[in-house]
Structure formats: C-alpha cells, structure tokens
C-alpha cells in the first residue's frame, strides 16, 4: 500500500486546479500587461483569480499581491514592515519561537541590521496566548508576526485575539497562514489581520506560487524591482497558470472546508488515539487548537530518520521534525521550542493528512508504526539503557 502522509510538506495538485491551468498555456498565454486583445484576455483571467483569492480571505481583490510562494510573501511582509518601522524609529519586532524558517531567518537578518526581535515562548500548551503578545508590545514595536498554524506540530494560534491586541496597540499584524489557508476558515477583516501569507502547494494547488494579503492603508515595499506588475509592488510577468491553479484550489478548499475538516479530523483523531498506545511517546502540539490534518509525536529511544526510512520501505511517506536538512544533526527548532530535550526531539514523526487519505490507510499506518518503533527500539543502545534502568525515561 502507498500512503502519502506528508501534506504539510506539499500536496498533490487537484484535478480541478490542474485543469484550470491548461487554458492559461493554450489560450490565455498573453502577457497581462500587453494592450492587445490576447494580453487583455489574460488580464481578465488574472483579475478573476485575484477576486477568487480575495473572496476566500474576506478582503478586496486589490489587497492581494501574487508572489512566488509562502517564503517570498513572508519575506516581503516582514521586510516591508521593518522598513516603514525604521523610518519612524521603531525597530522592535515580536514573533514566536516556532515560526517557519522563512520568518525566523528573515528576522535573523533584520537583527543583524539593528532590529530587536522578541520571540515568544511556546512551551506552555505548545502555543502562545494573546496576553503574551500584549505584554511584549512596546512603544517601538513595528510588527507582530505570528504564524496562523504551526507546520510541524499543528498548533493553531489565537489569531483573532492577537489581531485585536495589535489593533488596540496600533501595531501592524502579519500572519504566516501557509498551513491554515484552505484548511481553516479565515476572515482577515473579522480577525484584524493586516498582512497574511499563503502558498498554493499547501492546499492542492501548484508549487512556486503564493499570495500576500495587505490591508488597504498598510504601506508595502517591494522586494523585487522592475515592471509595474501587482500595483508596482512585485515586478515580473505574472505566473498566470500557477496563479489560476492556486485560485481554483483555494476556492475548492473553501467551498468544501466543512466537509473536508470533518473527514480529516476523524482520521487524525483515530491516528492520534492509536499511536498514543505506544509506550513512552508524547503528542507534540496543542491538543485542542490543532490543525485538522496534523499528527506529531516523539517516541523515546529511537531516531526519527530511521523511523522514516522504515516507514518509506512500507510505502508510507511521512516526515520527521529532526530532518537534518543542512547535514547538521540539530533537531527541529520547533520541538526544542516546545521543550523537548535533544534525545526526545530526535525521535519525532509527523504525519500530515489530506481529504484524499482513507480509513484503510490510517489502519495501515497504525499497524506499521508500532512495529517499526518496536523494531528500532530493539536495536537501540539508548533503549537498552532505559530498559536496564541505566537511564531515566523522560516520556
């Protein structure tokens, strides 16, 4: 059996999104900036996609800027707020310790440029509270940037409450909603969100395309200079096929949100309940305020990489927070941020589902994971020490 359970990394494009893209190659191939009919037809298709995305977020079409993905949208939102903040002498930014690297690494660069960054602690409940944000806001705070939902452990942040706190303090609020868009109902106006990033490939759209919502009245600085595309804020001929595919995928996701959430949540809960029976494990992330598709565990006494390879051999595509992307053996900053010690953080497993997954697939995972964990523990010197009492169990 082949089971794809790595939807937080990327999703399979939906048939509808794929089909929506084809006319952009065959018919609407014009440059939306061209004045002739072929160009203007492409422009109409672009405008329609912008309206669709805006409708799904509860904003106006002119508040949507298309980008090359979530990373670019995060970079632009944060750098823009920093630029305008610095002009007013405000160089303090608030964020959280478990943001995506697209946010954290941008903040690291800004720190080197003289900004001060406060990263809110996420140990308590594997989440933050709006009160933490409120307490951290200062006279010189120019931006609060908190992710909508965490990509590794699934915690969903109290976005509306944070939005209210920021509004009251008059501080711009950006949220990296890459894991939330298409998975959780978003209403940027009701939630007082000033800027929001999303990415097409996280909700069954194409890769290499995203969007940045910027509330009217919030100044936006461009990251890429050149032509006047995207109201002068993002140069470069629009990637129309990808934009149209993303809009179609987002529209589907929003139209089927309730039904998909119900289905995926049931699969998630079954998976969590089954995996929790494995001794010496712990669920990562907020148990209540949680993405409907996220299952994240730490298993004591094993290596996440080995677990992944063994599961892959059984046809299961999963992920581990301890992936040594850059060849380093550092465990995930997210797992460390919620307070998992190095040894435990190394034994992590993330299964991220989609509405394409079936109950049979969950049963298959529930049969495979306990077996592989037991097998790896049998080979593990750490596990032997734990069993012999030469080391103390943490979980």
Ligand X SMILES: *Cc1c(COP(=O)(O)O)cnc(C)c1O
CB 175, min distance to ligand X, A: 10
Q: Which residue's Cβ lies closest to ligand X? A: 70
Active site residue 324: yes
Spatial distance between the Cα atoms of 373 and 304, rounded to a whole number of angstroms: 10
The C-alpha angle 162, 338, 369, rounded to 5 degrees, equals 120
CB 386, min distance to ligand X, A: 33
Can you spell out the DSSP letters for 201-260? GGTTS-SS-EEEEE-TTS----SS-SS-TGGGTS-S---HHHHHHHHHHHHHHHHTHHHH
Give the largest CA-CA distance in the chain: 78
Q: Which of 176, 252, 303, 361 binds ligand X (CB under 6 A)?
A: 176
Our CB check for ligand X shows the closer of 109 and 374 to be: 109
The C-alpha angle 166, 153, 179, rounded to 5 degrees, equals 60
CB 173, min distance to ligand X, A: 16
Spatial distance between the Cα atoms of 384 and 209, rounded to a whole number of angstroms: 48
Q: Which of 178, 311, 318, 337 binds ligand X (CB under 6 A)?
A: 178
Spatial distance between the Cα atoms of 134 and 137, rounded to a whole number of angstroms: 5
| 241 is a contact residue toward ligand X (CB under 6 A) | no
| 151 is a contact residue toward ligand X (CB under 6 A) | yes
What secondary structure letter does DSSP report for 114? T
| 234 is a contact residue toward ligand X (CB under 6 A) | no
Distances (CA, A) of 239 to 45, 62, 333: 12, 18, 33
| 155 is a contact residue toward ligand X (CB under 6 A) | no
Q: Which of 7, 75, 96, 179 binds ligand X (CB under 6 A)?
A: 179
CB 209, min distance to ligand X, A: 8
Which one of the spans 25-33, 173-181, 243-251, 347-355 is the region binding ligand X (CB under 6 A)? 173-181
Q: Please state the three-class secondary structure of 180-212 as a single string.
A: CCCCCCCCCCCCCCCEEEEEHHHCCCCCCCEEE
Spatial distance between the Cα atoms of 74 and 325, rounded to a whole number of angstroms: 21
| 300 is a contact residue toward ligand X (CB under 6 A) | no
| 100 is a contact residue toward ligand X (CB under 6 A) | yes
| 210 is a contact residue toward ligand X (CB under 6 A) | yes
Q: Are 393 and 386 in contact (CB under 8 A)?
A: yes
Give the end-to-end CA distance of the chain in Å, rounded to a whole number. 31
Q: What share of the chain is helix, strand, coil (3-state, %, to 5)?
A: 45, 15, 40
Q: Which of 145, 155, 199, 239 binds ligand X (CB under 6 A)?
A: 199
CB 256, min distance to ligand X, A: 21
Q: Which of 14, 45, 49, 69 binds ligand X (CB under 6 A)?
A: 69
Which one of the spans 68-76, 161-169, 260-268, 296-304 is the region binding ligand X (CB under 6 A)? 68-76
| 147 is a contact residue toward ligand X (CB under 6 A) | yes
CB 364, min distance to ligand X, A: 26
Q: According to CB under 6 A, which residues from 71 to 90 bind ligand X?
A: 71, 74
| 152 is a contact residue toward ligand X (CB under 6 A) | no
Which residues of the shown chain bind ligand X in the complex (CB under 6 A)?
A: 69-71, 74, 100, 102, 147, 151, 176, 178-179, 199, 202, 210
Q: Which residues are catalytic?
A: 324
């Amino acid at each position: 059996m082949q089971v794809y359970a790595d939807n937080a990394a990327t999703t399979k494009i939906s048939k509808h999104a794929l089909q929506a893209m084809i006319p952009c190659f065959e018919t609407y191939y014009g440059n939306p900036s061209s004045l002739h009919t072929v160009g203007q037809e492409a422009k109409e298709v672009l405008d329609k996609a912008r309206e669709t995305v805006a409708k799904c977020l509860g904003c106006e079409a002119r508040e949507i800027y298309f980008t090359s993905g979530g990373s670019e949208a995060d970079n632009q939102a944060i750098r823009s707020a920093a630029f305008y903040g610095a002009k007013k002498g405000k160089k303090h930014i608030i964020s959280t310790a478990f943001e995506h690297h697209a946010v954290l690494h941008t903040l690291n660069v800004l720190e080197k440029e003289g900004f001060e960054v406060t990263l809110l602690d996420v140990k308590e409940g594997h989440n933050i509270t709006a009160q933490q944000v409120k307490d951290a806001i200062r006279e010189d705070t120019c931006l609060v940037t908190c992710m909508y939902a965490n990509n590794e452990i699934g915690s969903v942040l109290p976005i509306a409450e944070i939005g209210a706190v920021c509004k009251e303090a008059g501080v711009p609020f950006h949220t990296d909603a890459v894991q939330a868009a298409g998975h959780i109902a978003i209403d940027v106006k009701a939630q007082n969100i000033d800027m929001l990033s999303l990415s097409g490939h996280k909700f069954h759209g194409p890769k290499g395309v995203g969007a940045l919502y910027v509330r009217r009245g919030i100044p936006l600085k461009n990251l890429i200079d050149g032509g006047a595309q995207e109201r002068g804020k993002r140069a470069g001929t629009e990637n129309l096929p990808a934009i149209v595919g993303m809009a179609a995928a987002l529209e589907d996701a929003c139209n089927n949100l309730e039904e998909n959430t119900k289905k995926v949540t049931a699969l998630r809960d079954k998976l969590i309940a089954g995996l929790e029976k494995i001794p010496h494990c712990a669920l990562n992330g907020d148990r209540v305020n949680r993405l409907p598709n996220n299952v994240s565990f730490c298993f004591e006494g094993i290596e996440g990489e080995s677990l992944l390879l063994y599961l892959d051999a059984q046809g299961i595509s999963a992920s581990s927070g301890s992936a040594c992307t850059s060849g380093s053996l550092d465990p995930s900053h997210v797992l460390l941020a919620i307070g998992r010690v190095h040894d435990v953080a190394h034994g992590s497993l993330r299964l991220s589902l989609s509405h394409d997954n079936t109950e049979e697939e969950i049963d298959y995972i529930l049969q495979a994971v306990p077996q592989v964990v037991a097998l790896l523990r049998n080979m593990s010197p750490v596990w032997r020490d734990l069993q012999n009492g030469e080391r103390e169990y943490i979980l």
